[in-house]
Amino acid sequence: MSAAPLLQVEDLKTHFALGTARPFGSGRRVLKAVDGVSFSIRAGEVLSLVGESGCGKSTVGRTLTRLETASGGTARLDGREILSLSQSAFRPLRREIQMIFQDPFASLNPRLTIEQTLAEPLRIHGLAKNRTEARALIAETLQLVGLDPQVMERFPHEFSGGQRQRIGIARVMILKPRLVIADEAVSALDVSIQAQVLNLIKDLQRDSGVSMLFISHDLGVVRHVSDRVAVMYLGRIVEIGSRADIFERPSHPYTRLLLSSIPRIVPGRKRVEDLGEPANAASPPSGCAFHPRCKFATDICRSAQPLAQPLGNEHFSACHHIAELQKDHA
């Protein structure tokens, strides 16, 4: 676990301009979808990124794959900065960072056969000399994800959601990437299929030793796959730590709120009080963005943004009152 990180993200920012400037307005409004996110992923490690919808977790994944343009910060893959590369300079590196998309019905081109879809990455990255070789690789990969190689002649509409997601995973794994970003990879699937696909992802990750950024809002799923977990709120990471630290010893009030909202049948269990709705990312609250929902909030929370405080064992939490809360919790 002490190896140098495969991916090192520092102070990542992705801001979006909202609409166009009005003639007499005060300039453009900016949505800070991701605003200063730092984390690292080691080789073979699974880091989960959790948070409510709109917290910016998907934008982190899309920025790292250069589908969105970063507004600031750095991301080093094996020590090499990837956010400042031009799109064409980044293209050869795309092989190493692959993405599994959420919606398996939208992520496959309806006009291409499975073979055409899977042959494309091979062709672009020069991984197969001819069609025979490509077909052999495709067949092998389809078997790897639990599909009959004969399906490669068919079109996406002939498959179920679970099968389509397996094809999406095959498109990723066929490139033998070093980092896979799974963006809500199972949340669009039927619950009965979720476990199967999740186990497939977990197995493939373990067998290939690929690193993974697992983006999800589903804490049950996250608990199943992750080594470490980062909790995001309104464009920032509020707590990051090992799976045990986050699930057994959560320190940040928001993490506790999230954990207590997992529906479970435990008699007498109390839910952490939620004092409101998620804030609007276009006009975030002052100070700690979580303060309007936090029952521990004091004046300092309303005025100053908390910094990440080390709690030992690579466990960090961004809360002004972390010391008291830790004592309280112990």
Partner 1 sequence: MATIGLIWLCLVLFAAVAAPLIVPFDPLDIDPVNRLAEPGWPHLFGTDHYGRDTFSRSLYGARMTMFIGVGSVVFALATGGLIGMLSAYFIRLGNFLMRGIDVLMAFPALLLALVLMTLLERSVTNTIIVIGIVYATTTARILFGMTLKLKREVFIDAAICSGAGHSSILFRHILPNLISPLLVQASFIFAFAQLQAAALDFLGLGLPPEVPSWGNMLSESRIYVTRAPWLLIFPGLLIILSVFSMNMVGDAMRDSMDPRFKDDIAGV
Distances in whole angstroms, Cα of residue 240 to Cα of each of 59, 220, 322 = 18, 17, 13
From 1-9, 20-28, 44-52, 108-116, give the range in contact with partner 1 by CB under 8 A: 108-116
**Which member of 8, 98, 194, 216 binds partner 1 (CB under 8 A)?**
98
Strands 228-233, 236-242: pairing kind = antiparallel
**Which member of 13, 29, 76, 125 binds partner 1 (CB under 8 A)?**
125
What strand order describes the sheet that includes 29-42? 29-42, 5-18, 72-77, 80-81
- Nearest by Cα to 74 from 86, 64, 62, 59: 64
SS3 assignment, position 196: helix
- Least distance from C-beta 225 to partner 1, angstroms? 21
**Which member of 18, 21, 106, 282 binds partner 1 (CB under 8 A)?**
106
For the segment 66-95, give every residue that binds partner 1 (CB under 8 A): 66-67, 88, 91-92, 94-95
**Which member of 10, 52, 78, 103 binds partner 1 (CB under 8 A)?**
103
Nearer of residues 175 and 198 to partner 1, judged by Cβ: 175
Distances in whole angstroms, Cα of residue 196 to Cα of each of 44, 162, 247 = 21, 9, 23
Instruction: Round to whole Å and give the CA distance between 65 and 233.
Output: 21
From 25-33, 99-107, 200-208, 274-282, give the range in contact with partner 1 by CB under 8 A: 99-107
Binding site for partner 1 (CB under 8 A): 62, 65-67, 88, 91-92, 94-95, 97-99, 101-103, 106-112, 120-121, 124-125, 168, 171, 175
